[in-house]
Amino acid sequence: MLRPLVALVCLLCLTLVPCFATVQTPPASLDDSAAERAYVSNDWRSAEAAYAGLTQKDATNARYWYRLGVAQKNLHEFDQALASFVKAESAGVPKYLILYAQAETQALKGDSLAAFSLLDQALAAGYANSDQLSSDPDLAALRTDTRFRKILDQAARAQTPCKYAPEHRQFDFWIGEWSVTTAKGGLPAGDSRIEVALGDCVIVENWTSKNSTYAGKSYNVYNAADKRWEQFWVDNSAGMIHFTGGLKDGVMDFYTADLPQPDGTTLLRHLRFFPLGPDQVRQYSQGSTDHGKSWTDEYDFIYTRKNKS
């Protein structure tokens, strides 16, 4: 029979190695901060011992199980790591994270078939981090396999879906740094910087006028649910305008609703963007006070790209 102290140490080790001959010294502290310090410093042996003890104190803590699995994976205790990751998922770690960690473990173990299967499952469950995939040293053995390129591409598309969806790229002809003049007379009107943001899902306009302090921004997005483009304009005079529309015959074509005016009338606005080659865009705005029966020009601008390539 094991002496009580020896039996207790075996429970704390959780290395799945019989404790009959040697007994590991338990960590001086089983508190969370000691385990954290070992984990962030990549002291995997100490982290394993600490988190093994913590899982005994609180078997419902998902982070404890997950970090125990990571420590075991880095110690090449692969079967123990896989078992700890299963416990972590049961305790609440998102499935896609567990599948990815299991894929890392199988790749290190040398089982590429299992690793690729788990990566496929992780993508299906919501994993979308192509940067991690491309740099993860645990997956180094998989990168020469043609299957890895497919997985990397899938992750990139999931990570930045707008970058790859054709509809979201329809307004890209407006992206750039522009000097803006009037279509008639070529008078300076302003400067505009059009850039992409939020994973290439939003095209942001930054407008400053040449002859006044007027400035504004527009946020242009493709609404996949309604299958249309929307523009939200805001400015430094408390103005706000919402346009909706889409690409028609190569022209980005927007309308507003009939907008109430201070004098009690309404104003319907029609805004169009015409690509005039790679380095020019025409922006043409008209307004109607009779619900679209007749139209009056508001402004007609030519955007000319700065620093043409």
Q: What is the pLDDT of residue 149?
A: 95
C-alpha span between 106 and 89 (Å, rounded): 17
pLDDT for 18 beyond 50: no
pLDDT for 10 beyond 90: no
Distance from the first to the final alpha carbon of the chain: 82
pLDDT for 12 beyond 80: no
Q: What is the pLDDT of residue 55?
A: 96
54, 30 Cβ separation under 8 angstroms: yes
Lowest mean pLDDT among 16-25, 118-127, 139-148, 254-263: 16-25
Q: Average of pLDDT values for 123-129? A: 95
270, 254 Cβ separation under 8 angstroms: yes
C-alpha span between 66 and 224 (Å, rounded): 37
C-alpha span between 65 and 26 (Å, rounded): 18
pLDDT for 16 beyond 60: no
Fold entry, domain 167-305: Lipocalin (2.40.128)
Return the CA Rg of the chain. Answer: 30
Tens-digit pLDDT profile for residues 182-200? 999 999 999 999 999 998 9
What's the CATH number of domain 4-160, 1.25.40.10, 3.30.70.120, 3.60.20.10, 1.20.1330.10?
A: 1.25.40.10
- Non-local CB neighbours of 141 within 8 Å, separated by 6+ positions: 107, 108, 110, 112
194, 206 Cβ separation under 8 angstroms: yes
Is residue 174 classed as helix, strand or coil in its secondary structure? Answer: helix
Query: 177 — phi, psi (to 5°)?
Result: -105, 125
Q: Average of pLDDT values for 103-113? A: 97
C-alpha span between 69 and 76 (Å, rounded): 10
pTM above 0.75, yes or no: no
Lowest mean pLDDT among 6-10, 217-221, 228-232, 268-272: 6-10
Is residue 2 classed as helix, strand or coil in its secondary structure? Answer: coil
DSSP string, 74-131: HTT-HHHHHHHHHHHHHHT--HHHHHHHHHHHHHHHT-HHHHHHHHHHHHHHT---HH
Band the pLDDT of 309: cuts 50, 70, 90: low
Tens-digit pLDDT profile for residues 153-180? 999 999 889 999 999 999 999 999 999 9
Q: What is the pLDDT of residue 308?
A: 67
Q: Between these two residues, 10 and 284, which has the higher pLDDT value?
A: 284
Band the pLDDT of 127: cuts 50, 70, 90: very high
C-alpha span between 104 and 108 (Å, rounded): 6
C-alpha span between 11 and 1 (Å, rounded): 15
Domain ranges of the chain: 4-160, 167-305
